[in-house]
A and B are shown apart, each in its own frame.
Chain A
Amino acid sequence: MCLAVPGQVESIHEANGMRMGRVNFGGVIKEICLAYLPDVAVGDYTIVHVGFAISKIDEASARATLQTFADLGLLEEGLADLRDSEPADLANDAP
């Protein structure tokens, strides 16, 4: 659960008073809480822990990390974490 996958913020919205965003992790899109990164903007890359964006990261490092994950077969593992969860999609009813 400590494996943090970098993703790119695609859109930002509010749900139940909380700043949320749709974040793209190498093709898998997840609803992520952005409350801890008040200045993150659409297009920015961020490192996400268990559904929460914690730090910004520049695009080059994000790409390098994703590439390393892919090389190591870790991307599958990380994305499986993202996919496996149930309820799988929070998009329609964000907390």
Chain B
Amino acid sequence: MKHLAEYRDADTAQRLAAEIRRIVTRPWAIMEVCGGQTHSIIRNGVDQLLPPEVELIHGPGCPVCVTPLETIDKALAIAVQPGVIFCSFGDMLRVPGSRENLVSAKGRGADVRVVYSPLDAVKLAREHPDRQVVFLAIGFETTAPANAMAVKLAARQGLGNFSMLVSHVLVPPAIEAIMRSPGNRVQAFLAAGHVCSVMGTWQYPPLAGRLRVPIVVTGFEPLDLLEGIRLTVLQLEAGRHEVENAYARVVSERGNEPAQEVIAEVFEAVDRAWRGIGVIPASGWRLAKGYREFDAERRFAVGHVTAAESPLCRSGEVLRGTLKPNQCPAFGQECTPRTPLGATMVSSEGACAAYFHSGRFAPAGS
């Protein structure tokens, strides 16, 4: 692993870190929401550049990690049905369901395919009119424009053999849930830059005001992160709770309005269970009335399967930010990326995998 000190921007990074050291006077806990940010932080040692007063808490922003076990079991139940072509983003394949994952289902003969875009799944449906093509539509607001357009396109082309298993999740309700959860230590948020490139920043000022919490829209490159952290610490030290945009080269206040319009047409808000966290009100999207015929849960009678998580896995605490991955007793022992007990060890955006791949085996301070 390379460390930040080795990069061309090392000087700027050191200067930003020095500035953060200069302005900080007391301990602060800041949550980076997005799993991509977590990876960049751990991989680049951004956290190790920070003064001891600034603690980064890793948030639940890994779509693979928070997809409920039930959804994965439903996916598996659909995938093994005869005549089905089951399509998914690659990072879902190894996520453990209660008994197996999509890779092992494929090994047993299910037609499971990795697609880069949901449009690839629509194309498969057009090419295979005799098969049922199902797409596992998960993700935050970043993947929603693509998934919404795929449904719209399938509707326009009259593809009765296309459907989606939808388990979309949303960032703002998660921020609210974290702030209101008992024992919460988070005092400020680095909001996920790419989510905001779709949704804009307009959703956040009411949230920042209501929860009295600074929210700084931040990118995921090392310098972006340090700048986001600097702005956040400035707010915290001054007792401000505002929305600031440290990623203006990509994110605007309004976001991508054509995408928001299509999302609003195709999806509607729904209470959603987050793996390891529980149900958060209005924290997800499902297909709206006009598009329900494309709902795979309706098309395939997938009963509600309740399933127990591994008793060893503490990913719920990791996702809520109350436990660092390497504080989990199973970390690197029973649980590795090859033998994952929880989704946070599988996904390239999961915090446990980030710690593992960067060799962070010992808890900080030990």
Q: Which residues of A contact B (CB under 8 A)?
A: 1-4, 16-18, 30, 33, 35-38, 47, 49-52, 54-55, 57-58, 61, 64-65, 67-68, 71-73, 77, 81-82, 84-87, 90, 93, 95
Contacts and interface: CB of A to CB of B under 8 A. Distances in A.
B36 A54 contact: no
Interface of B: 2, 7-8, 34-36, 40, 43-44, 61, 63-64, 89-91, 113-120, 122-124, 126, 139-140, 142-143, 145-146, 149, 153, 156-157, 192, 194, 197-198, 221-222, 249-252, 256, 258-259, 262, 348-349
24 contacts: A1-B63, A1-B142, A2-B36, A3-B349, A33-B146, A36-B258, A36-B262, A49-B145, A50-B89, A50-B118, A51-B117, A52-B149, A55-B252, A68-B221, A71-B7, A72-B2, A72-B43, A73-B2, A82-B116, A84-B114, A85-B90, A85-B117, A87-B123, A87-B124
Given A33-B146, A81-B116, A2 B198 contact: no
B116 to A, nearest CB: 3
B2 to A, nearest CB: 7
A39 B118 CA distance: 23
Contact of B123 (A61, A68, A72, A95): A95
A54 B221 contact: no
A49 B120 contact: no
Contacts, number: 136
B146 A50 contact: yes
Nearest to B64: A1
Contact of A86 (B63, B115, B222): B115
Contact of B143 (A50, A65, A77, A90): A50
Contacts of B126: 95
Given A51-B116, A95-B153, A36 B249 contact: no
B103 to A, nearest CB: 14
A21 to B, nearest CB: 13
A17 B221 contact: no
Given A54-B198, A71-B2, A85-B116, A49 B249 contact: no
Contacts of B61: 2
A58 B142 contact: no
A75 B64 CA distance: 20
A87 B258 contact: no
Contacts of B145: 36, 49, 52, 54
